[in-house]
Amino acid sequence: MDKNLKEQVLRSSGVNVLKCMRCGKCSGTCPSYDEMEYHPHQFVYMVERGDIETLMHSKSIYKCLTCFACVDRCPRNVEPAKVVEAVRLAAVRQQGNNHMNPNQIPEMLDDDLPQQAIVTAFRKYIK
Amino acid sequence: MKRIGVFVCHCGTNIAATVDVKAVAEALGHEPGVVISQDYQYMCSESGQNLVKNAIKEHNLTGVVVCSCSPRMHENTFRKAAASAGLNPYLVEIANIREQCSWIHKDIASATEKAIILGKAAVAKVHLNSPLTAGESPVVKRALVIGGGIAGIQTALDIAEAGFDVDIVEKNPTIGGKMAQIDKTFPTLDCAACILTPKMVEASQNEHITIHSFSEVADVKGFVGNFTVKIKKKARFVDETKCTGCGLCTEKCPMKKVPNEFNMGLDNRTAIYIPFAQAVPKVATIDPNYCMMLQKGKCGICSSVCSVGAIDYKQEDKIIEQQYGAIIVATGFNPIKLDKYDEFAYNQCPDVVTSLELERLMNAAGPNGGTLLRPSDKTHPHKIVFVQCVGSRCDDSKGKPYCSKICCMYTAKHAMLIREKYPDTDVYVFYIDVRTPGKNFDEFYRRAVEQYNVHYIKGMVGKVTPRSDGKIDVQASDLLANEQLHIDADMVVLAAAIEPDKTARPLATMLTTQMDTNDFFTEAHPKLRPVESATAGIFLSGACQGPKDIPETVAQASAAAAKAIGLLVKNSITCNPCVAHSDELMCNGCSSCEKVCPYGAITYIDKEFRMPDRTTAIRRVASVNPAVCQGCGACTVACPSGAMDLNGFSNSQIMSEVDAICK
Amino acid sequence: METFTYYPGCTLRTKAKDLDTYARKSAECLGINLEEPADWQCCGGAYTTAKDEIATKLSAVRTLNSAKELNRPLITVCSACHNVIKQTNYDISNDEEMAAKVNNYLKLPEPYNGETTVYHYLEMLRDVVGFDTLAQKVVNPLKGKKIAAYYGCLLLRPSKALAMDDPENPTIMEDFIKAIGGTPVIYAQRNECCGGYITLEDKAQASKRSSAVVRSAKDQGADMIITACPLCLYNLKKNSDTELPVYYFTELLAEALGLKEVQNG
Amino acid sequence: MQVNDNKDFQPLIVAFCCNWCSYAGADLSGTNRLNYPTNVKIIRVPCSCRVNPMFILRAFQRGADGVILCGCHPGDCHYTSGNYFTRRRMTLLFSMLDFLGIERDRTRVEWVSAAEGAKFAATMNEFTEAVRKLGPNRRLEDLRCRKQ
């Protein structure tokens, strides 16, 4: 367990994971639940335990839609989406760890796709 | 020359762990006037008190300083000890070195230094203390109970039983409160109405009890033993003394589309109504917002069918005034509004209901005559999802930070009743924790699971989507299975958090009692004085003090009654001697103090004074009525000549404390 | 005529011209002057909530500051831009450390600390124009049209920062629909995510979300859906397994004001 | 930019607390073991309206670096209206202190209820820090009272 990594995630997210009361509402409301290996409540708990690397290597960090449903509906104001974001940043900031390659983009496009989708994906996946 | 004794308490390790008590005793021993300075393990224990008493006698002390816990805890203990040793109790001062020193600081050196300074301030103050004698004021032998739910009814019955007159003020047309709306009670499953309504009748028939229904407290003046209360009797447009409760008017009233509060708006009532069959008093009330006669001046049917002529469209609000010796607050609770939780679709779908609505849906006197049917299409639900902690245990701006305490148990009750009556209905309960501390409570919950096969799922519902086919998609997490579930439910029941009644806050202001940040009344001591407020003569009964189930409410109601009776049996009570007094030689009769006194305790008298030239002159000077003065000290600051001062907190005493701290 | 700084954002220049064009036309008709800042930059499409991300927040701050310099409120219409700009503004007002870092980067003549008021176009309709006034200016009321308002996630959340409406029980778009003469359809999925940007790499997931939204709206009897987001429009149209016409709210606004030909839908 | 934070300076702070709300709130912060600096010394008064502006001037004269006055929230006064008097009196006193050149941040009025232990501790931490930054108060100090 890497203590620095945990501290970095906590600082970067600004989230106090100790506020979580383990109700699971974040995971109850998450629209990407079935696509995720680790679910929002697990993110919070695993960060609390310091198990960040497992999360960094999981595809789950690219499945969060950042729709903030968990943030708004959490009864304890924990803001799980911010934890997911912080873990994802910790992953993509590592050298050579960009989740997307600009060369892949053309084949993903169609005529109607607003470039907003590309801009957003770049911001989230590439450092 | 003053002879002061200083007594430093260890409070076990509570103080001694962070404050070097020996050093404190040593340092204070060198203060001027201090003749003895000791430390002891537990100063409040009998042997600790004896230490103080013996020192008073042995050293002929004229003042005592105890360095210990907060004066709010043991000031009285030490005052009594001093009195029993022949020292005037008001010559005792407390230096608070526990709550305001040892418990908040960690560094021994600086905490000790602070404790010494606090001790010095107390020594400096006690130098200027003077013996005080408390006066007495009479007690009015009548109690007021505010709120007519089960808490208020029980309190009133107990006080009446002791032979004192009691008035109940209830804002609704009938007493009974929330318990009257509840179908069955946990963990015995007996019928709420069957055990409540006899008590309501008993209250109405008791010669010592007067019920002011449809009334509100408008104003409270006075103090313990002698409150003057104005009660507003709201116009119900029906003469209570004439109405027989026959109900003919309610049958004939043409305005039949008024949401029925008693059934949580799940059905309608008429504009003139009796809330429910066993209402007490059983008299009709006209709802002026819907009555066509009162709105448009046309109709008058109720008046024409009433055989006793009880209808009075011209009735107006009436204020009555009454004296009371004690006031008991029993304003109760309400479920919170769920507008901010519409992820559960409460505002979108009539089949998403609160638990209190479910009580009415299942009650024989409810909208469906006791058959559980969906409000939307009156069909029988086959799958019901219960959601716990809706708005409870929240740290957001929407909900309440506390546990509402009753939801776990009533949900188990609902689940069990439904499974008992409709075995073909599946019941799911989403819980965070199941909290069942209470006699036979956990057994009850286990029966719901083991005997009735209620599906308890650890997790929370995150989104409810009503569908046009009548089903409700409930999306939730099952934390133990690590799965997100979708349940096609027919009904969803939300365990809404409970909150104090909205009338409690303005009432607390009138009563000058304290409330916590959630608007629950604050008890005088969380452990040892749970049914008294910090304001003398005001007692707390039921859920106005915190979430409670029925047995707890009744227990607290009786406890509050016992405390009130303890006050009412006295012919007079000892007054607080720390009251204002005016130095007549300095007073110039300007009336500044009179204007700021909230109690009207200050009057002016013309008094004859001998002047230096041997003549006499009549001057107007302030005079404080010590039985009325409560000792706030507002007048002392308003006084321009410095004539007004406060016993126990005199200008010179506070100045000497300031000096000691800033030395 | 009241003048506002108007931030169109990248997509409104290309794929979402309808959203932009009719927003401008309608504003003119309603007596609102929208003025585009001289050279604006793309907002980035998504707000990075991380406290240690500063560079990604700068373009939004520049936009906010350009409005501040003119002492005008800032109007956005694209949900994504609105979300990014509003969240940036919220954080910079409430997080001193972030504000200090951002200002150290930008070296503006005067530090920016969240002074600009940001309105979404809908908020402008509600709070500046007023829905009652709007209703009076309608010439082609959309009578009998059952319209489902789609808020998605970006317009309402995080509610602390966006503060546009009640995040679970919003009424602003429904009130808008009533003002232009239509009948709003309330459906539970109106404030759930459509799958958003994930459509780029995971069509299946985007399709699952979009379908849930469109099904829910259709199920409650809607004839069409309106949205303020180009990406939502794309997802709901392209990736849903259920078909329902999807329009930008500005299209219907222009139609009601008589500035656009009537749709067939 | 050079900021002198007076990190080592230990200010002397006198807190006047009304018996019913703020003193009880202070007790509660103790019961909950919420820390605040030892610099704060509390004087108990029956009501915030008992605090004569003279007491505050006296504290400054004798070397206090900050004075804070705590009472019940407006509307919740145990004596019905005492804290309203306090509010008005202190407004006047504060403008006088301004006139005398005493920094505004050295005096404060806060409403703390009996249930707000956390608020009491937070207020004291914040206030002590604010006074610490201001450094020692010399304006009103009676030099004859100064320790040699």
Q: Answer yes or no: is D127 within a domain.
A: yes
d(CA A71, CA A77): 7
Predicted local distance difference test score (pLDDT) of residue A122 = 87
How far is the alpha carbon of B375 from chain C, nearest alpha carbon, in Å? 18
The upper half-sphere exposure of residue B40, i.e. CA atoms within 13 Å in the direction of its Cβ, equals 18
Asked whether the beta carbons of residue C46 and residue A123 sit closer than 8 angstroms, the reply is yes
Residue D79 with chain B: CB contacts under 8 Å:
512, 598, 630, 632, 634
Q: What's the average model confidence in pLDDT over B352-366?
A: 96
Is residue C195 located within the same domain as residue C102? no
By the 8 A CB rule, do C197 and A120 touch? yes
The range of the structural domain enclosing residue C169 comes to 131-257
Helix, strand, coil percent content, chain B, rounded in steps of 5: 30, 25, 45
Asked whether the beta carbons of residue B389 and residue A24 sit closer than 8 angstroms, the reply is no
Q: Answer yes or no: is D5 within a domain.
A: no
B463, closest residue in chain C (CA to CA): C188
Q: CATH code at C7?
A: 1.20.1050.140
Predicted local distance difference test score (pLDDT) of residue D145 = 66
Least confident residue range of B162-171, B226-235, C16-25, C255-264: C255-264
SS3 state of residue C188: helix
Q: Answer yes or no: is D2 within a domain.
A: no
Chains D and C touch (3+ CB pairs under 8 A): no
pTM of the complete model = 0.88
Q: Answer yes or no: is D80 within a domain.
A: yes
Asked whether the beta carbons of residue B463 and residue A27 sit closer than 8 angstroms, the reply is no
User: Cα-atom radius of gyration of chain C, to the nearest Å?
Assistant: 18
Asked whether the beta carbons of residue D12 and residue B516 sit closer than 8 angstroms, the reply is no
Is residue B323 located within the same domain as residue B341? no
Q: Answer yes or no: is B663 within a domain.
A: no
Asked whether the beta carbons of residue B340 and residue C221 sit closer than 8 angstroms, the reply is no
Residue A67 with chain B: CB contacts under 8 Å:
none
Residue B651 with chain D: CB contacts under 8 Å:
52, 54
Is residue C68 located within the same domain as residue C141? no
Torsion, Cα of B52, B55, B56, B60 (10° steps): -170
Residue B341 with chain C: CB contacts under 8 Å:
168
Chains D and A touch (3+ CB pairs under 8 A): no
Is residue C43 located within the same domain as residue C75? yes
CA-wise closest residue to B406 among B448, B371, B361, B441: B441
CA-wise closest residue to B366 among B182, B185, B198, B171: B182
Interface ipTM > 0.90:
no
Which helix (H) or strand (E) covers residue B562, if one does? helix B550-568
Asked whether the beta carbons of residue D27 and residue B72 sit closer than 8 angstroms, the reply is yes
d(CA B374, CA B363): 14
Domain boundary among C82, C99, C121: C121
Count of domains for chain D: 1
Asked whether the beta carbons of residue B465 and residue C169 sit closer than 8 angstroms, the reply is no
User: Cα-atom radius of gyration of chain A, to the nearest Å?
Assistant: 15
Q: Answer yes or no: is D143 within a domain.
A: no
Least confident residue range of A106-120, B59-73, B203-217: A106-120
Residue type, B631: G
Q: Answer yes or no: is D83 within a domain.
A: yes
Residue C167 with chain A: CB contacts under 8 Å:
72
Residue B344 DSSP class: G
Q: CATH code at D128?
A: 3.40.50
Answer whether A74 touches B (CB < 8 Å).
yes
**Probe site for chain D from B19, B94, B99 (most D CB atoms < 10 A):** B99
Is residue B442 located within the same domain as residue B391? yes
- Considering CB atoms only, which of B341, B465, B469 is closest to C188? B465
Q: What's the average model confidence in pLDDT over B409-413?
A: 97
Residues of chain C falling short of pLDDT 50: 264-265
How far is the alpha carbon of B173 from chain D, nearest alpha carbon, in Å? 29
Subunits adjacent to chain C (3 or more Cβ pairs under 8 Å) = A, B
CA-wise closest residue to B27 among B96, B108, B119, B124: B119
Is residue B532 located within the same domain as residue B619? no
Q: Answer yes or no: is B652 within a domain.
A: no
Is residue C116 located within the same domain as residue C155? no
d(CA A10, CA A26): 18
- Considering CB atoms only, which of D27, D30, D79 is closest to B632? D79
Q: Answer yes or no: is B354 within a domain.
A: yes
* Domains within chain A, CATH numbers bracketed: 3-91 (1.10.1060.10), 98-126 (no CATH)
Matching residue, tokens 């030099």 = D143
Distances from the Cα of B328 to the Cα of B162, B220, B524, B542, B568, angstroms: 15, 13, 14, 10, 12
Q: Answer yes or no: is C151 within a domain.
A: yes
Predicted local distance difference test score (pLDDT) of residue D2 = 45
Residue D12 with chain B: CB contacts under 8 Å:
661-662
Predicted local distance difference test score (pLDDT) of residue B534 = 84
* Tens digit of each residue's pLDDT (9 = 90 or more) over A32-58: 999 999 999 999 999 999 999 999 999
Q: CATH code at C146?
A: 3.40.50.1860
* Tens digit of each residue's pLDDT (9 = 90 or more) over D8-54: 899 999 999 999 999 999 999 999 999 999 999 999 999 999 999 99
Q: CATH code at B42?
A: 3.40.50
Domain boundary among C86, C121, C156: C121
Residue B480: φ, ψ to 5°: -75, -35
Burial class for D101, CB neighbours closer than 10 Å (0-12, 13-18, 19+): exposed
Predicted local distance difference test score (pLDDT) of residue D65 = 94
* Tens digit of each residue's pLDDT (9 = 90 or more) over A3-39: 889 999 999 999 999 999 999 999 999 999 999 999 9
The range of the structural domain enclosing residue B204 comes to 142-234+318-333+502-569
Residue A77 DSSP class: -
Q: Answer yes or no: is D110 within a domain.
A: yes
Is residue B292 located within the same domain as residue B374? no
Asked whether the beta carbons of residue B118 and residue D75 sit closer than 8 angstroms, the reply is no
C185, closest residue in chain B (CA to CA): B348
Mean pLDDT for chain D? 90
By the 8 A CB rule, do C151 and C170 touch? yes
A38, closest residue in chain B (CA to CA): B482
The range of the structural domain enclosing residue D57 comes to 13-135
SS3 state of residue B322: strand
Other Cβ atoms within 10 Å of B421 Cβ, number:
12
Count of domains for chain C: 2
Q: Answer yes or no: is D69 within a domain.
A: yes
Count of domains for chain B: 5
Is residue B492 located within the same domain as residue B549? no
Asked whether the beta carbons of residue D45 and residue B654 sit closer than 8 angstroms, the reply is yes
Q: Answer yes or no: is C126 within a domain.
A: no
Q: Answer yes or no: is B257 within a domain.
A: yes
Domain boundary among C121, C147, C169: C121
SS3 state of residue C225: strand
Answer whether D38 touches B (CB < 8 Å).
yes
Is residue C80 located within the same domain as residue C177? no
Is residue C25 located within the same domain as residue C109? yes
Is the pLDDT reported for residue B496 higher than 50?
A: yes
Q: Answer yes or no: is C104 within a domain.
A: yes
d(CA D102, CA D88): 19
Is residue B355 located within the same domain as residue B487? yes
- Considering CB atoms only, which of A14, A31, A112 is closest to C209? A31
